[in-house]
Structure 1
Amino acid sequence: MKWWMHFRHRQKLKIIMHLFLQHFKAVGLINLVTAIKLTYFLIEIGRVHKARDTETTKDNAIQYWTELLKTKPPQYPYLG
């Protein structure tokens, strides 16, 4: 829950780094661009969810899972 502590203290760069490293660990070096995309989609999901924009949240979630499942990772990212 380290990302939550960073979120509560509004440390956005640390949140982004934490999420990126979790995705990078799951998809590997070969899929570096994918890890960046996954981090971006997850940040966008949180941002538009806060604005109560459910349609955009849904679209970003679909893009996130589509991109993640294309890589067929041996394990899914642990975001906690």
Structure 2
Amino acid sequence: MKEGQLYAGLDLGRAQDHSVLAVIKQVEDQQQLIHCHQFPLKTSYGNVIGYVKVLCDRWNQVHKVLWTRLEWETTSWRI
């Protein structure tokens, strides 16, 4: 497999939505999904962040981790 940069995307959920981590590898102008993990509902944020840290430490190549946390309000989505 060619060398490239790894980028991780983390969507934090909790009670109604799952937290999900996806990691892509970018080589030149192509991206490939190399890891995707959906956490069980109600997984604590600490456990999710711990998983991300272990993965980043193991691969030692993750360039950037982008994350969001969506909250549903009665009238709109808030990021």
TM-score under structure 1 normalisation? 0.35
Of Structure 1 and Structure 2, the greater helix share is in 1
Q: Which one has the largest radius of gyration?
A: 2
TM-score under structure 2 normalisation? 0.35
Of Structure 1 and Structure 2, the greater strand share is in 2
